[in-house]
Structure 1
Amino acid sequence: MDGLTAHALAPELNDLLTGSFVDRITMPDRHTVNLSFFAPQKGRFNLSLDANPSKPALNLSVHAPQRASNSAPSFTMFLRKYLRRARLDQVSSPPWERVFIFHFTAVDDIGDSRELKLVFECMPRTSNIILLNRQDTILDALRHIDHRINRVREILPAHPYEPPPPQNRLTPDACAATNTDELFSGVKPNSSTGRAVSLTIAGFSPVVGNEVAHRAGLDSVIPFSSLDEIKRDRLASELRTVCRALSQGLFEPAIYYDRPATDRKRQVMAVHVIALTHLPFSESYTHIYQAVSDYNFAVSTLDQFERMKTSLSKRIDEHIKRVQKKRMLHENDVADGNQAENDRLMGELILANVYAIPPRSDGVLLSNYYEEGTSIFCPLNPQLSPAGNAERYFKRAKRNRRKLEAASRLLANDLDELSWLASLSAAAGYAESEDDLLALELEYDERTRRQSRKSKKSKSPADYHPGKPAAKSRRKDKVFARPGKRKDAQQPKQESRPLPPRRFLSSDGFPIVAGKNNIQNDRLLRKARKDDIWMHLKGAPGSHVIISSEGNEVPDRTIEEAAGVAAWYSSAGHSGSAVEIDYCPVRNVKKIPGTRPGNVSYQNHKTVYVVPLDPYDLQSAEQSSTE
């Protein structure tokens, strides 16, 4: 939000909220304050002031505010003390500044009336929410700023409030009476044309500077110093036109997108009160507050999705690194264990030639009677007798056999876990919504929690053998541990409702279902009919796709479309090239017992080569059910 939008938004807020009473105050996070207003004639409004330094925002809606945390922060309690049941008298904003001032009249505990101001400074990096008394003295602020942060403007309780420093630019009202030379007198020679415009007028943002340059038929990135007098006059003329419309209150609120409304992948680019003709697609609004709120909601939803996706991918990548380290150790143990037969052979050869080996030898070359004409050099310990060296080799062979057995089992578990993590990583890559990521998080948390419980229960008896560090104290802890249930075991477990899979309809009307995670993949397989068609990307992670045949023969077009969906929701989904998709009746697909979710075997399958198909080009099952 720039100063122009704030200047246009403040009167709307004043008309909507004046005369309302503060009904509820909450803080859903450490940056945001939600104020619920109610008036008998106007109804209920929820005002959200988000002072996040990276992306401050103001939202007004009639919907219920975001639920707050269990414990109210101290700033929430402070605002409740002063503003609860207070009447909003006015909403104002300094001209062309991103500052909103809410004027309240409240009644204190003894019944005296007092005037208060809640100031919302909606500027990046310095955003803040400040409560003032009638004398403009700071009562408290969301973010305290002392001299160590800003030596010019301190924001602390009991300090006088000083507004943000002025922009020292021309206002849109004064722009019309200013000639071209005076308009751009303060422009730096190396500034671009768009930046030169945005730094000339108060409240202008870079997107407005680019718009003025576009209307003048100029490229916004070319240096301003390269413009001749004719181009500068044309630029100044368009600038005066925009400023004249702003001064007259001719606002055209709209949200601007990078793609048309028919494209579900479109993302917001900007919101403004003037027409941004250089941006391709737009959606007009009647009220400015609705456009601003919808834009902020779209931006916050996208940011939250990206944060969830980054966080989940990071957790999975770190888990993969840990498992890969374990795999390397277990591979080394398997390599050591494979020496068991060689150690046994050396022990047998030494024992067969025990009387022919000189004492205190450090090695001997012995004939291998298992392979005629071959010899094996056997290193010996000079401190041991030949029989003692044979016994040493037999013990080492026995130890390596145990190591091979255990390491092979653990290595198989590592490979299975890496395969599972690879499927999660691929699914996180092609996730399209928060529900997709939530399904993956549920699977990841459930499996890791189950593995943690299993590792705690399966303590090896060797952990309590004498001679092991702290073995005595562990035995004492085990003996004197109090029997009984844990506190968390006494509480009933809350089972979360399973998330629905993705559902689509083929061009022939056959339902196509795709799982969002491996748990859903197993569930789809269990619920599918034996004559339904199962699909999966060949030899790589991907979603399981089911065509519900309902006892009918599935046409080739539906098979190709479902295969395209299976390719889309896979590790090769956005490659753009044809991939192999295996498919077969569900009766030929078997869940492998004792393995991770989504791990199946199948036979008598066919393979089709398809290009990944965006499933939203098909009709969604939810849409068809509502028609």
Structure 2
Amino acid sequence: MALDGIVIANLVHELNETVLNTRISKIAQPETDELLFTLKGKDGQKRLLLSASASLPLIYLTGNNKPSPMTAPNFCMLLRKHIANGRITKIWQPDMERIINFEIEHLNELGDLCRKTLIVEIMGKHSNIIFCDDTGRIIDSIKHIPAQVSSVREVLPGRDYFIPKTQEKYNPLHTDLDFFRSHVCKKPMSISKAIYSTYTGISPVIANEICHRASIDGDQATDALSEDAALHLYHNFSWMMEDVTACNFSPNIIMNGKEPVEFSAFHLSIYEDSTCVDYPSISAVLEQYYAKKNEYTRIRQKSVDLRKIVSNTLERERKKYELQKKQLKDTEKREKYKVYGELLTTYGYQAKEGDKSLEAMNYYTNEMIKIPLDETLSPLENAKKYFNKYAKLKRTYQALTELTTETETEIEHLESIATSLDIATQEDDLSEIREELVAYGYLRKKSGEKKKKSKSKPLHYVSSDGYHMYVGKNNYQNDELTFKFAVGNDWWFHAKGMPGSHVIVKTNGDELPDATFEEAAKLAAYYSKGRENPKVEIDYLEKKNVKKPSGAAPGFVIYYTNYSMPIEPDITGITQIE
């Protein structure tokens, strides 16, 4: 979710509460498209981050400092010249746009009181930070946009600043029922799209949320709305806008396990099945959300090469497996050729020269069958020909059976590695996976590369009854947990018939409570290939009954005497120990 107008409204409210009338004591430019202000007021020192990054435009209060370049960039120097030690006298958002304006009061070289405006535009790839004088003329900007780049608006020193109206949208805070009915309910599109395409600052997520609160399917067409439904939709829209006006915000992050999936200034009922984590401020939400999101994104980026290798090899192995199965199916007629040969040996004397077939009693089934003959060959030569076909297909069957089993095992191994890549959260996790890929010949070892001692450790949870539960993040950790860490009467959990983590529950010799069994099963379901399924079947048994076949790949085990339970892959509320 991009920073929509409602999140910006929350930010403006927070900034007015915290940094209005503070003085700008330091101005730094850590990145080419990012500013960091240190502000001093009666409540102490605060830092404000302003980013116009095309991929991650942001603005929030932070407690963290960032290193700056030795030589300050020109835009940073210009700001220092004009507004260093200036006072922020006004912070506002124009018409629910994704824009925050800072009016800054300062003294010029002659000691006269002046006002300048710093405009932060949070608009995806069009984001910018623009510095204007009191007449609205651009002094400079962190990004220069000439006419060759944008035909809509130039952002260059000396040009007049204006907000580009690329779409005809309206301020959602200034609307009424008649306007809503004529502009939203009459648009020939889905209801949610009609809302966010009509009003400024409304994201698709918020549009869907308004529809959900009104018990309306946002994907259905506007012409499906009855008069009563349209009125109910407007009321829910209006109530949310009243909350914006009254600043009744509830900053939160929606979590899927440990991964953030969404953030908002309001509670989102469309994510009722996910975990909602509340925060004291929208700045804390943005800082936490993007820090966690960056962590996952960084791991995804760093694992791209490994994912590609696993994906390509899996595709190749699956094609090979399908071909082998097809060839294996072709060998099913081998027994028929054997019977033909035996029957011809027994009844071949009945065939006459030039016959193209022979009908004989199949003494295995007591049925008459018709045996095709090569009329140029004698019955015994035909029998020999069928025996040769049988022998060839039998050899093929034996070879293919072995090859198919090997290929199937290879696919299972690769799928388990793919699942390990999905679970990985740290670079050390990737190192162990890379080590496994090298060990099994999927990846070449770099020349001169030394084996590093991995710092990656299994995930550690504690059940509601106080029992320690451990989750392997890859095949090496699964082996370590099951065969070196666990003892005989500890319990072992794994998703049935699919790649996933080994989960070990340390019993300390106790009989485990039912709640602990369920929580361990949830962990096994969540850390498996089936984590997106509504339910996953989990096998569980005492560790002493889990065996490892000789020569099997890491993480592969066999067991027979197990229990099973279907469970939701939801680990909400299970305590994790870092």
User: TM-score of the superposition, structure 1-length normalised?
Assistant: 0.59
1:126, distance to aligned residue in structure 2 (A): 2.4
1:89, distance to aligned residue in structure 2 (A): 1.9
Amino acid at match of 2:248: E
Aligned to 1:22: 26
Amino acid at match of 1:423: S
Inter-CA distance 596–141: structure 2 relative to 1 (3 Å threshold): farther
Inter-CA distance 297–545: structure 2 relative to 1 (3 Å threshold): closer
DSSP 3-state at the match of 1:148: coil
Amino acid at match of 1:89: R
Q: Which moved more, 1:579-588 or 1:190-199?
A: 190-199
DSSP 3-state at the match of 2:162: coil
Kindly indicate whether the alpha-carbon contact (under 8 Å) linking 2:428 and 2:455 is maintained by their aligned counterparts in 1: no
DSSP 3-state at the match of 2:50: strand
The answer to whether 1:610 aligns with 2:565 is yes
**Identical-pair percentage:** 23
Kindly indicate whether the alpha-carbon contact (under 8 Å) linking 1:584 and 1:606 is maintained by their aligned counterparts in 2: no
Aligned runs of 1:216-615 on 2, under 5 Å? 223=222, 250-255=246-251, 268=262, 270-271=264-265, 290-291=281-282, 293-294=284-285, 297-298=288-289, 301=292, 305=296, 312=303, 315-316=306-307, 318-322=309-313, 325=316, 418-428=411-421, 431=423, 435=425, 440-448=429-437, 497-505=455-463, 507=465, 509-524=466-481, 525-537=483-495, 540-552=498-510, 562=520, 565-572=523-530, 575=533, 579=537, 581=539, 583-586=541-544, 589-590=547-548, 596-600=553-557, 606-612=561-567, 614=569
DSSP 3-state at the match of 1:49: strand
DSSP 3-state at the match of 1:163: coil
The answer to whether 1:154 aligns with 2:154 is yes
Deviations 1:574-610 (A, max 9, x none): 55567462634348645856x643245x56x521121
Aligned to 1:87: 85
Kindly indicate whether the alpha-carbon contact (under 8 Å) linking 1:24 and 1:36 is maintained by their aligned counterparts in 2: yes
Deviations 1:27-79 (A, max 9, x none): 3xx7x625141426433333233435566432223x315x67xx9599x7334
Kindly indicate whether the alpha-carbon contact (under 8 Å) linking 2:501 and 2:524 is maintained by their aligned counterparts in 1: yes
Q: Distance in 1 between matches of 2:240 and 2:309?
A: 52
Q: Distance in 2 between matches of 1:418 and 1:6?
A: 48
Aligned to 1:366: none
Amino acid at match of 2:477: Q
Inter-CA distance 529–298: structure 2 relative to 1 (3 Å threshold): same
Deviations 1:314-370 (A, max 9, x none): 8435434236647989999xx9xxxxxxxxxxxxxxxxxxxxxxxxxxxxxxxxxxx
Amino acid at match of 2:289: A
Inter-CA distance 326–542: structure 2 relative to 1 (3 Å threshold): closer
Inter-CA distance 561–276: structure 2 relative to 1 (3 Å threshold): closer
Kindly indicate whether the alpha-carbon contact (under 8 Å) linking 1:211 and 1:278 is maintained by their aligned counterparts in 2: yes
Aligned to 1:468: none
Q: Distance in 1 between matches of 2:247 and 2:505?
A: 51
Kindly indicate whether the alpha-carbon contact (under 8 Å) linking 1:313 and 1:428 is maintained by their aligned counterparts in 2: no
Deviations 1:480-508 (A, max 9, x none): xxxxx97x87xxx975532342323275x
Inter-CA distance 115–95: structure 2 relative to 1 (3 Å threshold): closer
1:164, distance to aligned residue in structure 2 (A): 1.3
DSSP 3-state at the match of 2:247: coil
Amino acid at match of 2:312: K
Inter-CA distance 530–149: structure 2 relative to 1 (3 Å threshold): same
Q: Distance in 2 between matches of 1:559 and 1:185?
A: 57
Q: Distance in 1 between matches of 2:94 and 2:510?
A: 69
1:454, distance to aligned residue in structure 2 (A): 8.9
Inter-CA distance 25–313: structure 2 relative to 1 (3 Å threshold): closer
Amino acid at match of 2:187: N
Aligned to 1:47: 48
Inter-CA distance 588–307: structure 2 relative to 1 (3 Å threshold): closer
Amino acid at match of 2:487: R
Q: Distance in 1 between matches of 2:168 and 2:444?
A: 66
1:613, distance to aligned residue in structure 2 (A): 5.0
Kindly indicate whether the alpha-carbon contact (under 8 Å) linking 1:268 and 1:299 is maintained by their aligned counterparts in 2: no
The answer to whether 1:10 aligns with 2:12 is yes
Kindly indicate whether the alpha-carbon contact (under 8 Å) linking 1:87 and 1:104 is maintained by their aligned counterparts in 2: no
Inter-CA distance 286–79: structure 2 relative to 1 (3 Å threshold): same
Inter-CA distance 258–513: structure 2 relative to 1 (3 Å threshold): closer
1:235, distance to aligned residue in structure 2 (A): 8.6
Count residues in correspondence: 502
Inter-CA distance 128–450: structure 2 relative to 1 (3 Å threshold): farther
Amino acid at match of 1:522: D
Inter-CA distance 619–213: structure 2 relative to 1 (3 Å threshold): closer
1:533, distance to aligned residue in structure 2 (A): 3.6
Inter-CA distance 41–277: structure 2 relative to 1 (3 Å threshold): same
Q: Distance in 2 between matches of 1:505 and 1:41?
A: 46
Inter-CA distance 2–551: structure 2 relative to 1 (3 Å threshold): closer
DSSP 3-state at the match of 2:45: strand
DSSP 3-state at the match of 1:616: coil
Inter-CA distance 242–556: structure 2 relative to 1 (3 Å threshold): closer
Inter-CA distance 506–592: structure 2 relative to 1 (3 Å threshold): farther
Amino acid at match of 2:436: R
Q: Distance in 1 between matches of 2:145 and 2:316?
A: 47
Amino acid at match of 1:51: A
User: TM-score of the superposition, structure 2-length normalised?
Assistant: 0.63
Amino acid at match of 2:432: E
Kindly indicate whether the alpha-carbon contact (under 8 Å) linking 1:501 and 1:516 is maintained by their aligned counterparts in 2: yes
Kindly indicate whether the alpha-carbon contact (under 8 Å) linking 2:252 and 2:279 is maintained by their aligned counterparts in 1: no
Deviations 1:521-548 (A, max 9, x none): 2332323334434444455422112231
- Where does the alignment leave 5 or more consecutive residues of structure 1 unmatched? 336-372, 379-404, 458-484
Amino acid at match of 1:570: S
| Corresponding residue to 1:190 among 171, 187, 209 | 187
DSSP 3-state at the match of 1:20: strand
Amino acid at match of 2:249: P
DSSP 3-state at the match of 1:87: coil
1:233, distance to aligned residue in structure 2 (A): 9.1
Inter-CA distance 171–327: structure 2 relative to 1 (3 Å threshold): closer
- Where does the alignment leave 5 or more consecutive residues of structure 2 unmatched? 328-382, 389-398
Aligned Cα root-mean-square deviation (Å):
6.1
DSSP 3-state at the match of 1:129: strand
Q: Distance in 1 between matches of 2:237 and 2:311?
A: 56
Q: Distance in 2 between matches of 1:321 and 1:574?
A: 23
Aligned to 1:164: 163
Aligned to 1:126: 126
